[in-house]
């Protein structure tokens, strides 16, 4: 009996350590940021879906812009990799490198086509993903095709 309890305890610990990273890396939801860049302050909103796709709408002193991409998350590190941008006056695509501070806060820096921006900034979750995220920032990124079943 004691042996069975010990085996059960070991299995529960193993299961908990396997599940914990998956829960800790759930980044889906709506996020806000404010960061200082070369040309002044940037502010914006990101929406990350359950598949790790990200859409961002932002503004700086000269223009509004939007970016599309995906996230890569592992071991408390998160990369927000933008792959396309829409802007009126040229904009170098961002690549945010972040460290998870809490389930609702990321501490980040940016590297774009011009180089690394030294100022750290925070991205803060302001809401969980709605039950039906379709339509959220659809005008920002091209619609993704649904898989054929």
Give the C-alpha separation, 130 to 149, whole Å.
Answer: 24
Q: Does the pLDDT of residue 113 top 60, yes or no?
A: yes
Phi first, then psi, for residue 20 (nearest 5°) are: -55, -50
Whether the Cβ atoms of residue 140 and residue 57 lie closer than 8 Å to each other: yes
Residue 34 DSSP SS3: strand
pLDDT of residue 16: 42
Mean pLDDT of 116-140: 76
Sorting pLDDT into bands at 50, 70 and 90, what band is 39? confident
The set of residues, in sequence order, having a beta carbon less than 8 Å from that of 113 and lying 6+ positions away, is: 92, 93
- The DSSP string of 75-144 is TTEEEEEEEEEEESS--PPPEEEEEEEETTEEEEEEEETTEEEEEEEEEEEEEPPPS--TTTTTTTSPPP
Given this model, what pLDDT does residue 20 score?
37
pTM of the model: 0.75
Confidence of residue 22 (pLDDT cuts 50, 70, 90): very low
Pick the range with the lowest mean pLDDT from 18-22, 47-51, 132-136: 18-22
Q: Which CATH class is domain 27-127?
A: mainly beta
3-state secondary structure 95-106: EEEEEEEECCEE
Q: What is the pLDDT of residues 69-109, one digit of tens each?
A: 999 999 999 999 999 999 999 899 999 999 999 999 999 99
Q: Does the pLDDT at position 128 exceed 70? A: yes
Contact between 46 and 129 (Cβ < 8 Å): no
pLDDT band at 13 (very low <50, low <70, confident <90, very high): very low
**Stretch 47-54: mean pLDDT:** 92
């Amino acid at each position: 009996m004691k042996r069975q309890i010990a085996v059960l305890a070991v299995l529960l610990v193993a299961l908990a350590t396997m599940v914990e990273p998956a829960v800790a890396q759930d980044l889906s939801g709506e996020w806000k940021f404010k960061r200082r860049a070369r040309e002044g302050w940037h502010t914006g909103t990101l929406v990350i879906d359950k598949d790790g796709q990200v859409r961002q709408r932002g503004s700086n002193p000269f223009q509004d812009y939007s970016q599309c991409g995906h996230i890569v998350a592992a071991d408390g590190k998160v990369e927000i990799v933008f792959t396309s941008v829409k802007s009126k006056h040229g904009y170098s695509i961002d690549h945010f490198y972040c460290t998870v501070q809490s389930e609702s806060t990321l501490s980040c820096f940016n590297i774009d086509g011009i180089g690394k921006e030294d100022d750290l900034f925070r991205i803060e979750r302001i809401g969980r993903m709605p039950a039906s995220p379709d339509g959220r920032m659809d005008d920002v990124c091209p619609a993704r095709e649904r898989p054929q079943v």
